[in-house]
Amino acid sequence: MTNPTAAMLVIGDEILSGRTRESNMHYLAGELTRIGIALREVRVVADVHADIVAAVRELSARYAHLFTSGGIGPTHDDITADAVAEAMGARIGPRADAMALLQAHYDRAGLPFNEARQRMARIPDGATLIENPVSAAPGFTLGNVHVMAGVPNIFQAMVASVLPGLTGGPPLLSQSLRVNRGEGEIAEAFGALAAEFPDLSMGSYPFIQNGAHGTNLVVRGTDPARIDAAMVRLTQLFG
C-alpha cells in the first residue's frame, strides 16, 4: 500500500513581503504525515489571479490532494475562491447554505451581514463546505482541492474537519539519533547504510551547540520493523 500524495498552496502577499511568518505549512505537514499522506510540494504565490489559477491547475493535476491556505475573507484582496473555480472549470456564485450560516453568525453577533461579508458565501458549484467554527465563513472542497483560511487557528480547525474524511496510507514513521559528530565525519558510513535500506529515507541535519558540531540522523518509512532494524545499525555505528 502506498501513500497518497499532497501539495499545499499558500496564497498571500504578506508572506512574500516578509511581513508575516508562514506557519500553516509546518502544521499541515505534521498532520498529513500522521495520517499517512505524503506532502510532496509547497508553493507560496502572491494575490494574483493568474498565478493562483496556474498553480491550482498544476498541483491539483499532479498530486492526489491540494490544500490551499489564505485569501477567502471579505476584502478585495481575497480572490482564492474565484481563482480555484476558474482553475477547476466550475461556476461560482453565492450559495444558499453558506449565506444562511453566515447570516445566522452575524445575527448572533449583532453585526450587519453586508455586501463584503456576503462575498464569503461565494462557493464554486459542486463544492462541499468546510466548517469554520471560529468565524463561520466556510472553506470548501472542490474535486481534490481543499480551500481553507490563512488565519492559523481557523486553518487548523478546518484541517481538523477535512482530514478525517480522507483516506491516508500507512502512517509515515520516523526515528532519529542525535550524534555528537559533524556531518562530514559520519557521511560515508551513513550513506552506505542508506543504500542498504532503499525502502527507507534517511536524512542528516547538522547543528552547532556550544561551539561543537553535531548531527541529527533521521530514518523515515512506513514499516516499523525496518525502521527499528536501521536504528539498531545506526546506533552500532554512531551511538
Could you say which residues in the range 96-155 bind its own copies, by CB under 8 A? Answer: 106, 111, 114-117, 119-120, 134-135, 151, 153
CA 228 to chain centre: 28
Please, which of residues 65-94 interact with its own copies by CB under 8 A? 73-77
> Is 157 among the residues that bind its own copies (CB under 8 A)?
no
For residues 142 and 127, is the Cβ–Cβ distance under 8 A?
yes
Q: How many whole angstroms separate alpha carbon 37 and alpha carbon 4?
A: 5
> Is 191 among the residues that bind its own copies (CB under 8 A)?
yes
136 conformational bin, left if phi > 0, alpha if psi -120 to 50, beta if neither: left
Query: Among 1, 108, 188, 211, which residue interacts with its own copies (rule: CB under 8 A)?
Result: 188
Q: Which of 142, 134, 137 is nearest to 160 (CA)?
A: 134
Query: Among 18, 110, 198, 211, which residue interacts with its own copies (rule: CB under 8 A)?
Result: 18
Residue corresponding to grid cell 452575524:
106
Query: Among 63, 67, 190, 238, which residue interacts with its own copies (rule: CB under 8 A)?
Result: 190
Query: Among 89, 94, 165, 206, which residue interacts with its own copies (rule: CB under 8 A)?
Result: 206
Give least dist CB 126 to its own copies, A.
26
Name the residue nearer to its own copies (CB basis): 13 or 126: 13
Distance linking the first and last C-alpha atoms of the chain: 33
Give least dist CB 170 to its own copies, A.
14
Query: Among 79, 101, 218, 231, which residue interacts with its own copies (rule: CB under 8 A)?
Result: 218
For residues 94 and 115, is the Cβ–Cβ distance under 8 A?
no
What are residue 79's phi and psi, to 5 degrees? -125, 10
Give least dist CB 31 to its own copies, A.
8
The DSSP H or E segment spanning 213 is strand 212-221
Task: Tell me how many residues contact its own copies (CB under 8 A).
Answer: 72
> Is 33 among the residues that bind its own copies (CB under 8 A)?
yes
